[in-house]
Structure 1
Amino acid sequence: MSTILNKLNWRYATKNFDSSKQVSNEDLNTLLEAGRLTASSYGLQPYEIYVIKNEEVRKELRKASYDQPQITDASYIIVLANKPTFDDSMIDDYIANIMKVRGLSKEDLEGFSKTMKSTLLDLPDAYKGAWTSNQAYIVLGNLMTIAAEMEIDTCPMEGFDKEQYNEILGLTDKGLNAAVVLAVGYRSSEDATQHYPKVRYPEEQIITHI
Protein backbone atom coordinates (compact mmCIF):
# COMPACT_ATOMS: atom_id res chain seq x y z
CA MET A 1 0.00 0.00 0.00
CA SER A 2 1.36 3.43 -0.88
CA THR A 3 2.41 5.87 1.82
CA ILE A 4 -0.48 8.25 1.16
CA LEU A 5 -3.02 5.41 1.48
CA ASN A 6 -1.40 4.38 4.74
CA LYS A 7 -1.80 7.95 5.98
CA LEU A 8 -5.43 8.11 4.89
CA ASN A 9 -6.12 4.89 6.75
CA TRP A 10 -4.32 6.36 9.78
CA ARG A 11 -6.43 9.50 9.88
CA TYR A 12 -9.85 9.72 11.47
CA ALA A 13 -12.15 12.46 12.68
CA THR A 14 -10.43 13.10 15.99
CA LYS A 15 -12.90 13.61 18.81
CA ASN A 16 -10.48 14.17 21.70
CA PHE A 17 -7.34 16.24 21.20
CA ASP A 18 -4.35 16.33 23.52
CA SER A 19 -4.27 20.00 24.48
CA SER A 20 -0.69 19.66 25.76
CA LYS A 21 0.61 18.92 22.26
CA GLN A 22 0.83 21.85 19.88
CA VAL A 23 1.22 21.94 16.13
CA SER A 24 4.38 23.91 15.36
CA ASN A 25 4.23 27.24 13.55
CA GLU A 26 6.23 25.68 10.71
CA ASP A 27 3.75 22.84 10.25
CA LEU A 28 0.80 25.21 10.55
CA ASN A 29 2.28 27.43 7.85
CA THR A 30 2.73 24.39 5.60
CA LEU A 31 -0.95 23.52 6.04
CA LEU A 32 -2.05 27.09 5.37
CA GLU A 33 0.09 27.28 2.25
CA ALA A 34 -1.52 24.04 1.07
CA GLY A 35 -4.87 25.69 1.64
CA ARG A 36 -3.81 28.78 -0.30
CA LEU A 37 -2.57 26.66 -3.20
CA THR A 38 -5.74 24.54 -3.38
CA ALA A 39 -7.56 24.52 -6.70
CA SER A 40 -10.82 26.44 -7.06
CA SER A 41 -13.22 26.99 -9.94
CA TYR A 42 -11.66 29.48 -12.37
CA GLY A 43 -9.02 30.02 -9.65
CA LEU A 44 -11.30 32.61 -8.03
CA GLN A 45 -10.87 31.45 -4.41
CA PRO A 46 -14.23 32.84 -3.21
CA TYR A 47 -13.42 32.26 0.45
CA GLU A 48 -11.04 33.25 3.22
CA ILE A 49 -9.20 31.11 5.76
CA TYR A 50 -9.38 32.09 9.44
CA VAL A 51 -6.95 30.56 11.94
CA ILE A 52 -8.22 30.77 15.52
CA LYS A 53 -5.73 30.44 18.38
CA ASN A 54 -7.08 32.98 20.88
CA GLU A 55 -8.41 31.08 23.89
CA GLU A 56 -11.18 33.54 24.75
CA VAL A 57 -12.50 33.55 21.19
CA ARG A 58 -12.41 29.76 21.14
CA LYS A 59 -14.42 29.58 24.35
CA GLU A 60 -17.10 31.64 22.64
CA LEU A 61 -16.91 29.47 19.53
CA ARG A 62 -17.24 26.34 21.66
CA LYS A 63 -20.52 27.66 23.03
CA ALA A 64 -21.64 28.16 19.42
CA SER A 65 -20.50 24.60 18.61
CA TYR A 66 -22.78 22.76 21.03
CA ASP A 67 -19.93 22.52 23.56
CA GLN A 68 -17.79 20.21 21.42
CA PRO A 69 -14.36 19.96 23.10
CA GLN A 70 -12.38 19.94 19.85
CA ILE A 71 -12.93 23.70 19.59
CA THR A 72 -10.87 24.47 22.68
CA ASP A 73 -8.62 21.41 22.93
CA ALA A 74 -7.11 21.32 19.43
CA SER A 75 -4.01 23.37 18.67
CA TYR A 76 -5.87 25.53 16.18
CA ILE A 77 -9.30 25.96 14.71
CA ILE A 78 -9.46 26.77 11.02
CA VAL A 79 -12.67 28.37 9.82
CA LEU A 80 -13.27 28.33 6.08
CA ALA A 81 -15.48 31.32 5.32
CA ASN A 82 -17.17 31.53 1.93
CA LYS A 83 -18.69 34.53 0.20
CA PRO A 84 -22.48 34.02 0.36
CA THR A 85 -22.89 36.34 -2.60
CA PHE A 86 -20.65 38.38 -4.87
CA ASP A 87 -20.68 40.89 -7.72
CA ASP A 88 -18.40 41.79 -10.60
CA SER A 89 -15.80 43.28 -8.24
CA MET A 90 -14.73 39.77 -7.19
CA ILE A 91 -13.96 38.89 -10.80
CA ASP A 92 -12.35 42.27 -11.53
CA ASP A 93 -10.04 41.86 -8.53
CA TYR A 94 -9.05 38.40 -9.75
CA ILE A 95 -8.35 39.68 -13.25
CA ALA A 96 -6.18 42.45 -11.77
CA ASN A 97 -4.22 39.84 -9.82
CA ILE A 98 -3.65 37.74 -12.96
CA MET A 99 -2.44 40.86 -14.78
CA LYS A 100 0.04 41.56 -11.97
CA VAL A 101 1.36 38.01 -11.60
CA ARG A 102 1.54 37.07 -15.28
CA GLY A 103 2.30 40.44 -16.79
CA LEU A 104 -0.80 40.43 -19.00
CA SER A 105 -2.98 43.30 -20.12
CA LYS A 106 -6.67 43.76 -19.37
CA GLU A 107 -7.34 43.21 -23.06
CA ASP A 108 -5.53 39.86 -22.93
CA LEU A 109 -7.98 38.69 -20.28
CA GLU A 110 -11.16 40.27 -21.58
CA GLY A 111 -12.58 36.99 -22.91
CA PHE A 112 -11.86 35.14 -19.69
CA SER A 113 -13.45 37.92 -17.67
CA LYS A 114 -16.60 37.92 -19.80
CA THR A 115 -16.89 34.14 -19.53
CA MET A 116 -16.76 34.24 -15.73
CA LYS A 117 -19.19 37.12 -15.48
CA SER A 118 -21.70 35.59 -17.88
CA THR A 119 -21.54 32.27 -16.04
CA LEU A 120 -21.61 33.46 -12.44
CA LEU A 121 -23.11 36.91 -11.97
CA ASP A 122 -26.69 36.08 -12.94
CA LEU A 123 -26.92 33.15 -10.54
CA PRO A 124 -29.43 33.61 -7.69
CA ASP A 125 -27.78 34.36 -4.36
CA ALA A 126 -28.68 30.91 -3.04
CA TYR A 127 -26.75 29.31 -5.92
CA LYS A 128 -23.84 31.70 -5.46
CA GLY A 129 -23.62 30.78 -1.79
CA ALA A 130 -23.77 27.06 -2.54
CA TRP A 131 -21.08 27.40 -5.21
CA THR A 132 -18.66 29.35 -3.01
CA SER A 133 -19.28 26.94 -0.12
CA ASN A 134 -18.41 24.03 -2.43
CA GLN A 135 -15.11 25.75 -3.23
CA ALA A 136 -14.34 26.05 0.49
CA TYR A 137 -14.94 22.33 0.90
CA ILE A 138 -12.27 21.62 -1.71
CA VAL A 139 -9.85 23.45 0.61
CA LEU A 140 -11.15 21.38 3.53
CA GLY A 141 -10.39 18.11 1.75
CA ASN A 142 -6.92 19.25 0.77
CA LEU A 143 -6.09 20.40 4.30
CA MET A 144 -7.20 17.07 5.74
CA THR A 145 -5.10 15.09 3.25
CA ILE A 146 -1.97 17.20 3.74
CA ALA A 147 -2.43 17.05 7.52
CA ALA A 148 -2.67 13.25 7.36
CA GLU A 149 0.52 13.12 5.30
CA MET A 150 2.18 15.13 8.10
CA GLU A 151 0.57 12.93 10.79
CA ILE A 152 -1.36 15.89 12.16
CA ASP A 153 -4.85 15.07 13.35
CA THR A 154 -7.95 16.89 12.21
CA CYS A 155 -11.68 16.90 12.72
CA PRO A 156 -13.98 18.46 10.10
CA MET A 157 -16.96 20.05 11.82
CA GLU A 158 -20.34 21.23 10.56
CA GLY A 159 -22.02 21.10 13.96
CA PHE A 160 -22.00 24.78 14.83
CA ASP A 161 -24.29 27.81 14.71
CA LYS A 162 -23.15 29.73 11.64
CA GLU A 163 -24.87 32.96 12.64
CA GLN A 164 -23.08 32.95 15.98
CA TYR A 165 -19.75 32.19 14.31
CA ASN A 166 -20.32 35.02 11.87
CA GLU A 167 -21.04 37.40 14.74
CA ILE A 168 -18.13 36.29 16.95
CA LEU A 169 -15.61 36.49 14.10
CA GLY A 170 -17.11 39.57 12.44
CA LEU A 171 -17.60 37.70 9.19
CA THR A 172 -20.90 39.21 8.09
CA ASP A 173 -19.42 42.73 8.03
CA LYS A 174 -16.73 41.38 5.70
CA GLY A 175 -19.23 39.77 3.32
CA LEU A 176 -18.34 36.27 4.52
CA ASN A 177 -20.06 33.26 6.05
CA ALA A 178 -18.63 30.43 8.15
CA ALA A 179 -18.92 27.39 5.87
CA VAL A 180 -17.07 24.66 7.76
CA VAL A 181 -14.60 24.28 10.63
CA LEU A 182 -11.46 22.15 10.87
CA ALA A 183 -9.91 21.37 14.25
CA VAL A 184 -6.15 20.76 13.94
CA GLY A 185 -3.88 19.16 16.54
CA TYR A 186 -2.85 15.80 17.95
CA ARG A 187 -5.08 13.00 19.17
CA SER A 188 -5.38 12.17 22.84
CA SER A 189 -4.22 8.70 23.84
CA GLU A 190 -7.60 8.38 25.56
CA ASP A 191 -9.58 8.92 22.36
CA ALA A 192 -11.07 5.46 21.83
CA THR A 193 -12.23 6.40 18.34
CA GLN A 194 -8.70 6.09 16.97
CA HIS A 195 -8.83 2.33 17.50
CA TYR A 196 -12.08 1.76 15.61
CA PRO A 197 -11.71 -0.06 12.27
CA LYS A 198 -12.26 2.38 9.40
CA VAL A 199 -15.69 1.90 7.85
CA ARG A 200 -15.91 2.51 4.10
CA TYR A 201 -17.83 0.79 1.33
CA PRO A 202 -15.75 -1.70 -0.68
CA GLU A 203 -14.34 -0.63 -4.04
CA GLU A 204 -16.83 -2.64 -6.08
CA GLN A 205 -19.74 -0.91 -4.36
CA ILE A 206 -18.61 2.68 -4.66
CA ILE A 207 -16.35 2.84 -7.74
CA THR A 208 -17.63 2.30 -11.28
CA HIS A 209 -15.32 1.97 -14.27
CA ILE A 210 -16.88 2.83 -17.61
Structure 2
Amino acid sequence: MSLLSKLNWRYATKKFDPTKKIPADKLDELLAAVRLSPSSYGLQHYKVIVVENADVRAKLREASFGQSQITDASQVIVFAAETNIDANYVNEYINEIASVRQTSTESLAGLKDMLVNAVTNRTDEQKLVWAQKQAYIALGVLISAASELGIDACPMEGFNAQQYDEILGLKEKGVTATVIATIGYRADDDQYAALPKVRKPHEKLFIHV
Protein backbone atom coordinates (compact mmCIF):
# COMPACT_ATOMS: atom_id res chain seq x y z
CA MET A 1 0.00 0.00 0.00
CA SER A 2 1.01 3.60 -0.51
CA LEU A 3 1.57 5.87 2.47
CA LEU A 4 -1.81 7.52 1.87
CA SER A 5 -3.51 4.13 1.86
CA LYS A 6 -1.83 3.24 5.13
CA LEU A 7 -2.81 6.55 6.72
CA ASN A 8 -6.39 5.87 5.63
CA TRP A 9 -6.11 2.40 7.18
CA ARG A 10 -4.97 3.70 10.56
CA TYR A 11 -7.26 5.11 13.22
CA ALA A 12 -7.02 5.95 16.91
CA THR A 13 -7.44 2.37 18.09
CA LYS A 14 -9.86 2.16 20.98
CA LYS A 15 -9.72 -1.59 21.58
CA PHE A 16 -6.52 -3.60 21.29
CA ASP A 17 -6.15 -7.37 21.16
CA PRO A 18 -4.19 -8.15 24.36
CA THR A 19 -3.00 -11.49 22.95
CA LYS A 20 -1.11 -9.88 20.06
CA LYS A 21 2.33 -8.43 20.73
CA ILE A 22 4.52 -6.44 18.37
CA PRO A 23 7.53 -8.57 17.28
CA ALA A 24 10.83 -7.32 18.66
CA ASP A 25 12.23 -6.46 15.23
CA LYS A 26 9.15 -4.42 14.36
CA LEU A 27 9.30 -2.56 17.66
CA ASP A 28 12.97 -1.81 17.07
CA GLU A 29 12.15 -0.46 13.62
CA LEU A 30 9.37 1.72 15.00
CA LEU A 31 11.58 3.15 17.73
CA ALA A 32 14.35 3.75 15.18
CA ALA A 33 11.90 5.88 13.20
CA VAL A 34 11.00 7.86 16.32
CA ARG A 35 14.70 8.43 16.99
CA LEU A 36 14.94 10.09 13.56
CA SER A 37 12.18 12.58 14.35
CA PRO A 38 12.99 16.22 13.63
CA SER A 39 13.29 18.64 16.53
CA SER A 40 14.22 22.27 17.03
CA TYR A 41 17.99 22.59 16.49
CA GLY A 42 18.11 18.78 16.66
CA LEU A 43 18.15 18.96 20.47
CA GLN A 44 15.52 16.23 20.97
CA HIS A 45 14.08 17.92 24.04
CA TYR A 46 12.42 14.76 25.41
CA LYS A 47 12.84 11.14 26.40
CA VAL A 48 10.72 8.25 25.18
CA ILE A 49 9.68 5.68 27.76
CA VAL A 50 8.58 2.26 26.47
CA VAL A 51 6.36 0.64 29.09
CA GLU A 52 5.74 -3.11 28.94
CA ASN A 53 5.63 -4.19 32.60
CA ALA A 54 2.09 -5.34 33.43
CA ASP A 55 2.14 -4.11 37.03
CA VAL A 56 3.33 -0.66 36.01
CA ARG A 57 0.74 -0.48 33.25
CA ALA A 58 -2.03 -1.38 35.71
CA LYS A 59 -1.03 1.66 37.75
CA LEU A 60 -0.86 3.81 34.61
CA ARG A 61 -4.35 2.67 33.66
CA GLU A 62 -5.64 4.05 36.96
CA ALA A 63 -3.88 7.31 36.12
CA SER A 64 -5.52 7.24 32.67
CA PHE A 65 -9.16 7.20 33.78
CA GLY A 66 -9.38 3.45 33.38
CA GLN A 67 -8.81 3.39 29.62
CA SER A 68 -8.30 -0.21 28.49
CA GLN A 69 -5.70 0.63 25.84
CA ILE A 70 -3.12 1.14 28.58
CA THR A 71 -3.18 -2.51 29.65
CA ASP A 72 -4.38 -4.21 26.45
CA ALA A 73 -1.97 -2.69 23.92
CA SER A 74 1.40 -4.28 23.24
CA GLN A 75 3.29 -1.29 24.67
CA VAL A 76 2.63 2.15 26.10
CA ILE A 77 4.90 4.87 24.74
CA VAL A 78 5.35 7.92 26.95
CA PHE A 79 6.86 11.07 25.48
CA ALA A 80 8.32 13.06 28.36
CA ALA A 81 9.59 16.61 27.90
CA GLU A 82 12.97 17.64 29.33
CA THR A 83 12.69 19.97 32.32
CA ASN A 84 16.39 20.89 32.61
CA ILE A 85 17.35 22.42 29.28
CA ASP A 86 20.38 24.55 30.06
CA ALA A 87 23.96 25.20 28.97
CA ASN A 88 24.99 21.73 30.14
CA TYR A 89 22.29 20.19 27.96
CA VAL A 90 23.69 22.13 25.01
CA ASN A 91 27.24 21.03 25.85
CA GLU A 92 26.21 17.38 25.73
CA TYR A 93 24.63 17.95 22.32
CA ILE A 94 27.73 19.71 20.99
CA ASN A 95 29.91 16.84 22.21
CA GLU A 96 27.61 14.37 20.47
CA ILE A 97 27.84 16.31 17.20
CA ALA A 98 31.62 16.38 17.45
CA SER A 99 31.72 12.64 18.08
CA VAL A 100 29.31 11.61 15.32
CA ARG A 101 30.71 13.97 12.70
CA GLN A 102 34.33 13.47 13.78
CA THR A 103 35.11 17.11 14.27
CA SER A 104 36.39 19.24 17.13
CA THR A 105 34.20 20.98 19.66
CA GLU A 106 36.22 24.13 18.97
CA SER A 107 34.93 24.17 15.40
CA LEU A 108 31.39 24.15 16.80
CA ALA A 109 31.90 27.16 19.07
CA GLY A 110 29.63 29.40 16.99
CA LEU A 111 26.82 26.84 17.03
CA LYS A 112 27.29 26.29 20.74
CA ASP A 113 27.04 30.03 21.51
CA MET A 114 23.90 30.33 19.41
CA LEU A 115 22.25 27.38 21.12
CA VAL A 116 23.19 28.54 24.61
CA ASN A 117 21.64 31.93 23.81
CA ALA A 118 18.51 30.24 22.45
CA VAL A 119 18.20 28.27 25.68
CA THR A 120 19.14 30.87 28.28
CA ASN A 121 16.92 33.56 26.74
CA ARG A 122 13.83 31.45 27.48
CA THR A 123 12.11 31.20 30.84
CA ASP A 124 11.65 27.78 32.42
CA GLU A 125 8.01 27.83 31.37
CA GLN A 126 8.90 28.74 27.79
CA LYS A 127 11.50 25.97 27.64
CA LEU A 128 8.98 23.40 28.88
CA VAL A 129 6.41 24.43 26.26
CA TRP A 130 9.16 24.35 23.63
CA ALA A 131 10.16 20.84 24.69
CA GLN A 132 6.56 19.63 24.74
CA LYS A 133 6.05 20.82 21.17
CA GLN A 134 9.05 18.75 20.06
CA ALA A 135 7.59 15.70 21.81
CA TYR A 136 4.41 16.09 19.78
CA ILE A 137 6.46 16.10 16.57
CA ALA A 138 7.95 12.76 17.63
CA LEU A 139 4.45 11.47 18.36
CA GLY A 140 3.44 12.35 14.79
CA VAL A 141 6.40 10.40 13.43
CA LEU A 142 5.46 7.43 15.63
CA ILE A 143 1.91 7.40 14.29
CA SER A 144 3.03 7.63 10.65
CA ALA A 145 5.74 5.00 11.08
CA ALA A 146 3.34 2.67 12.87
CA SER A 147 0.85 2.87 10.00
CA GLU A 148 3.67 2.14 7.55
CA LEU A 149 4.54 -0.99 9.55
CA GLY A 150 0.94 -2.16 9.92
CA ILE A 151 0.96 -1.40 13.65
CA ASP A 152 -2.04 0.18 15.32
CA ALA A 153 -1.60 3.20 17.53
CA CYS A 154 -3.70 5.48 19.66
CA PRO A 155 -2.35 8.91 20.64
CA MET A 156 -3.71 9.87 24.05
CA GLU A 157 -3.83 12.98 26.21
CA GLY A 158 -6.34 11.59 28.70
CA PHE A 159 -4.04 10.89 31.62
CA ASN A 160 -2.80 12.50 34.81
CA ALA A 161 0.71 13.67 34.01
CA GLN A 162 1.68 14.18 37.64
CA GLN A 163 0.70 10.60 38.49
CA TYR A 164 2.60 9.31 35.46
CA ASP A 165 5.67 11.20 36.63
CA GLU A 166 5.37 9.57 40.06
CA ILE A 167 4.70 6.04 38.80
CA LEU A 168 7.55 6.11 36.27
CA GLY A 169 9.98 8.14 38.40
CA LEU A 170 10.24 10.76 35.68
CA LYS A 171 11.04 13.71 37.92
CA GLU A 172 14.27 12.01 38.93
CA LYS A 173 15.08 11.59 35.23
CA GLY A 174 14.59 15.32 34.59
CA VAL A 175 11.51 14.90 32.41
CA THR A 176 7.74 15.16 32.68
CA ALA A 177 5.05 13.17 30.88
CA THR A 178 3.65 15.17 27.97
CA VAL A 179 1.70 12.87 25.65
CA ILE A 180 1.37 9.12 25.26
CA ALA A 181 0.54 6.54 22.62
CA THR A 182 -0.51 2.93 22.92
CA ILE A 183 0.69 0.60 20.18
CA GLY A 184 -0.23 -2.94 19.18
CA TYR A 185 -2.92 -4.59 17.09
CA ARG A 186 -6.62 -3.80 16.94
CA ALA A 187 -9.20 -6.20 18.32
CA ASP A 188 -11.41 -7.84 15.71
CA ASP A 189 -14.53 -6.41 17.36
CA ASP A 190 -13.37 -2.80 17.65
CA GLN A 191 -16.33 -1.03 16.09
CA TYR A 192 -14.30 2.09 15.38
CA ALA A 193 -12.08 0.27 12.88
CA ALA A 194 -14.83 0.13 10.25
CA LEU A 195 -16.03 3.71 10.58
CA PRO A 196 -15.30 6.05 7.65
CA LYS A 197 -12.55 8.53 8.41
CA VAL A 198 -13.86 12.06 8.91
CA ARG A 199 -11.56 14.90 7.88
CA LYS A 200 -12.10 18.43 6.59
CA PRO A 201 -12.32 18.63 2.80
CA HIS A 202 -9.25 19.99 1.04
CA GLU A 203 -10.79 23.42 0.39
CA LYS A 204 -11.61 23.92 4.08
CA LEU A 205 -8.29 22.72 5.43
CA PHE A 206 -5.72 24.17 3.06
CA ILE A 207 -5.11 27.80 2.17
CA HIS A 208 -3.04 28.28 -0.96
CA VAL A 209 -1.39 31.71 -1.14
Same fold (TM over 0.5): yes
| Paired position in structure 1 for 2:103 | 104
- 1: distance between equivalents of 2:38 and 2:78? 18
Q: Check if 1:164 corresponds to 2:177.
A: no
| Paired position in structure 2 for 1:64 | 63
Question: Please, what TM-score do these two structures have when normalized by structure 2?
Answer: 0.98
Q: CA RMSD in A?
A: 0.9
- Shift, 1:85, TM fit: 3.8
- 2: distance between equivalents of 1:110 and 1:204? 47
TM superposition outliers: structure 1 runs of 4+ over 4 Å = none
| Paired position in structure 2 for 1:152 | 151
- 1: distance between equivalents of 2:129 and 2:47? 15
What is the 5 A alignment of 1:1-40? 3-40=2-39
- 2: distance between equivalents of 1:168 and 1:139? 22
| Paired position in structure 2 for 1:190 | 189
Specify every segment of 5 or more residues in structure 1 that has no aligned partner in the other structure, as ranges.
none
2:13 maps to amino acid: T
- Shift, 1:196, TM fit: 1.1
1:150 maps to amino acid: L
2:208 maps to amino acid: H
Specify every segment of 5 or more residues in structure 2 that has no aligned partner in the other structure, as ranges.
none
Question: Please, what TM-score do these two structures have when normalized by structure 1?
Answer: 0.97
2:151 maps to amino acid: I
What is the 5 A alignment of 1:109-148? 109-148=108-147
- Shift, 1:63, TM fit: 0.3
- 1: distance between equivalents of 2:54 and 2:105? 45
Number of aligned residues: 209
- 2: distance between equivalents of 1:15 and 1:83? 29
| Paired position in structure 2 for 1:75 | 74
- 2: distance between equivalents of 1:110 and 1:189? 56
Please list the CA deviations of residues 2-27 of structure 1 after superposition, one character each: whole Å capped at 9, or x if unmatched.
71000011100000000111110010
